[in-house]
Structure 1
């Protein structure tokens, strides 16, 4: 009886310590894993979130760049972390929607292997080409690609770009040469230098288009982007909208305590409500879409099915 009583007291003591630790969270720096190399739009976005999370939560938030494998390396790093809130990830539809959908044996289940923390925003993606490509409009690009199969090359730095180009190739019956990169910055560098002919990327390429080093043919948004109001959207050129969402958010490993998740969500959402922070994010080409963790989790789960349907329709399983 005495031994049982001691065990009970010990268990209650451990539970109390765990509850106290959660209540005091965080007591040390937090790491934010990013699946992109430094310098690109997504990395810049992650650093804005990290800085404001640090300011609001009272501990340093350290960005760790882990690019490669279309975002799988970073996602698996977060998935395998301790669920204590000290290692979280800036993820996107590239590594948590598109990549699992394209694999016959997915490395993880986005809906069950992670804890949804905070929805950040929706990307504006654009089709960029080098000026040497003899096409000034999307229609001319498709016509040239059809007339010259396997002549044009395209670079991709994430799974979203891979999937978007696969849909274009399937829809219009064009043959293009694929050149994969570890992230958008090196792909953009090679596009500007003319080593590749085209790329579907974020607004990071728009400054090069404005000074004539690139062309912007179309944007993958429902409405025209305020960053490029003269660039048509898919439905304006007869394609219809993409059946998926191109998103970004913050997740952690599965099994995180609810109070820790709620704390992170509250601080991130509060920062996203600040006009100066929202302006910084919008200048990167994002539409800010904060939500509660359960709403974000439902969106991730819904997009798993949406991306799988798209992948199956264009035969992109590998």
Structure 2
């Protein structure tokens, strides 16, 4: 290159270099794709939430953000994949309470230890679980459902749960004990296949998260008859809480949060958390998640750590009282 031309281009090239470094995520991501692991099948509630957030996060991070479904074992497969991922800010795990707070307490060898292998990034919502009855069956209320089960031979019936040894499974046990019913939890590999069977009345009832039950409830595919939590849900104002129905002790509500591999640089965690905070503050995102029954609330790292530990401790007591032995 002639010296005169080089002298002319050198300042321009320097300016271009500085500009590229200043682009959101340009230095941190280095052109890498950001992967969001989901421990449940496509079409379920967690998957839908992940895709809404991923679509907006790509703009805030200045990088491609893809949803990577690794369903099975109540989120264990996805959690194990997170443990094996490079701690470079390119892989995150979106999870609710089950995989992080419950699985390590009910499995002898889940293949990961949240306290050792993961780091909290940020939380973005809380939600509640609910009991739903197939829309093609007669019961329209919780009381009618209890009467319907009692009318079955031996007062026996099955309730679908999205994963074995999950909060919904323990709830099935407690409902059965409280109302003298022979209820059996039928575990599925995620909520999508469970709800498919519920729509077709292949299983009479199921317990799932409110976000995945709201739209089918509106469409008449199922009827939500009771919700957990300390108060009724805005998306289901006519549905009573279990406490109202005489089954107290489920007022603590679960959470949704992002996790990263242990050792991920602080700058990467802060960058992702900052992008997430901006995304959930967007009215269209907030309205979408609220409409699905989520209580949208950005929770920075310290806050989601505290919530996760408190929830884990609360369920440790319930699991011990149930007599459940880790498998």
Q: Which range, TM-score by smaller chain?
A: 0.7 to 0.9
Of the structure 1 ranges 157-166 and 277-286, higher mean CA displacement relative to structure 2 is found in 157-166
Q: Does residue 37 of the first structure (1) align with residue 41 of the second (2)?
A: yes
Q: In structure 2, the residue corresponding to 1:52 is in which secondary structure?
A: helix
| CA shift for structure 1 position 194 | 0.8
Q: Which residue, 167, 175, 178 being the options, matches 1:168?
A: 175
Contact 1:272-1:288 at 8 Å conserved across structures: yes
**Among residues 53, 57, 61, which one is paired with 1:57 in the alignment?**
61
Post-superposition shift, 1:23? 9.0
Aligned mates of 2:204, 2:92 — CA distance in 1: 36
Partner of 1:135: 139
**What do residues 220-266 of structure 1 show as CA deviations (whole Å, max 9, x unaligned)?**
13222121111111222122241543111100111211111111111
Alpha-carbon contact 1:166-1:316 (below 8 Å) kept: no
Q: Conserved in 2, the CA contact under 8 Å of 1:104 and 1:317? A: no
**TM-score for both structures, normalised by structure 1:** 0.86
* 1:93 aligns with one of 87, 90, 97: 97
From 119, 123, 139, give the equivalent of 1:115.
119
Which secondary structure does the structure 2 equivalent of 1:289 belong to? strand
Shift of 1:300: 1.9
Report the Cα distance in structure 2 between the residues aligned to 1:285 and 1:96, rounded to whole angstroms. 21
Q: Residue 206 of structure 2: SS of its match in structure 1? A: strand
Matched, 1:242 2:242: no
- CA–CA distance in structure 2, aligned partners of residues 243 and 98 of structure 1: 16
In the superposition, relative to structure 1, how do residues 211 and 53 fare at CA in structure 2: closer, same or farther (>3 Å)?
closer
1:284, CA displacement in angstroms? 1.5
Does the CA-based 8 Å contact 2:60-2:275 persist in structure 1? yes
Give 1:198-209 correspondences, 5 Å limit: 198-202=205-209, 203-209=211-217
Task: Map 1:272-311; keep pairs closer than 5 Å.
Answer: 272-311=280-319
Give me the whole-angstrom Cα distance separating, in 2, the residues matched to 1:142 and 1:316: 25
Structure having the higher Rg? 2
Aligned 8 A contact 1:123 1:286 in 2: yes
Aligned to 2:161: 156
Structure 2 unaligned regions, length at least 5: 1-24
Matched, 1:219 2:220: no
CA contact (8 A) 1:94 1:160 kept: yes
Question: Which piece of structure 1 moves more, 118-127 or 198-207?
Answer: 198-207
In 2, Cα distance between equivalents of 1:172 and 1:87: 45
Deviation at 1:105, TM superposition (A): 4.3
Deviates more, 1:57-66 or 1:178-187: 178-187
CA contact (8 A) 1:261 1:293 kept: no
Q: Distance in 2 between matches of 1:74 and 1:314?
A: 27
Q: Give the aligned CA root-mean-square deviation in angstroms.
A: 2.1
Question: Relative to 1, partners in 2 of residues 1:84 and 1:166: Cα closer, same or farther, differing over 3 Å?
Answer: farther
Alpha carbons 2:227, 2:240 under 8 Å: kept? yes
How far off its partner does 1:134 sit?
4.8
| TM-score calculated relative to the size of structure 2 | 0.84
Between the aligned partners of 1:211 and 1:45, the Cα distance in structure 2 is: 20
Contact 2:173 2:183 in 1 (8 A): no
Question: How far apart, in 2, do the equivalents of 1:184 and 1:239 lie?
Answer: 24
| 3-state secondary structure, aligned to 2:115 | coil
Instruction: Confirm whether residue 268 of structure 1 aligns to residue 276 of structure 2.
Output: yes
Contact 1:122 1:247 in 2 (8 A): yes
How many residues end up aligned between the 2 structures?
297
